[in-house]
Amino acid sequence: MMRALVVDDSRFIRHYLHSLLVDHGVDCVEAADGRQGLDCLQRSGPFAVALVDWNMPVMSGFDLLRAARSDHAFDGTKFVMVTAEAENDHIEAALLAGADEYLVKPFDEAGLFDKLRMAGVDEL
């Protein structure tokens, strides 16, 4: 079964993503900030994909992305940034830091799975 990591400080967004993913047969682990997300990557992986919010307390999604991409242990995990920060410089910074795709909030089921396919998550 494909496994996904959802990292967002919004419980609402975590539960929304969880329900969409579980409906598609994806096993889902949730974390509430970047530090928890990094712990999950290290202890509960491997994950096919990490869906990562940008703005979170303790450790941002951008810092989580940079930490993960500095460790080759996570090369097999696709990273999709999920955020309301839709400015071009944010998107460019995320892609330069190693994000595979960028999903802008608000999004729906079709938008989520389009981006997962574009990110190269091919187990769906």
Q: Using CB under 5 A as the criterion, which residues of the chain lie in contact with Mg ion when the complex forms?
A: 9, 53, 55-56
CB nearer to Mg ion: pick between 9 and 30 = 9
> Which residue number, 55 or 70, has a Cβ lying nearer to Mg ion?
55
In the complex, minimum distance from the CB of residue 9 to Mg ion, in angstroms, rounded to a whole number: 4
Token digits of residue 25: 């047969």
Spatial contact of 6 and 17, defined as CB atoms under 8 Å apart: yes
- Residue 44 or 55: the one with the smaller Cβ distance to Mg ion is 55
Cα distance between residue 116 and residue 119, in whole Å: 5
CB 54, min distance to Mg ion, A? 7
Minimum Å distance from CB 95 to Mg ion? 20
> What tokens does 76 get?
């097999």
Of 7 and 21, the one with the shorter C-beta distance to Mg ion is 7
Quote the CA–CA distance of 1 and 7 in Å, as a whole number: 19
CA distances for 107 relative to 16, 63, 75, 97, 104, angstroms:
10, 23, 26, 23, 6
Q: Residue 40 CB, nearest distance to Mg ion (Å)? A: 17
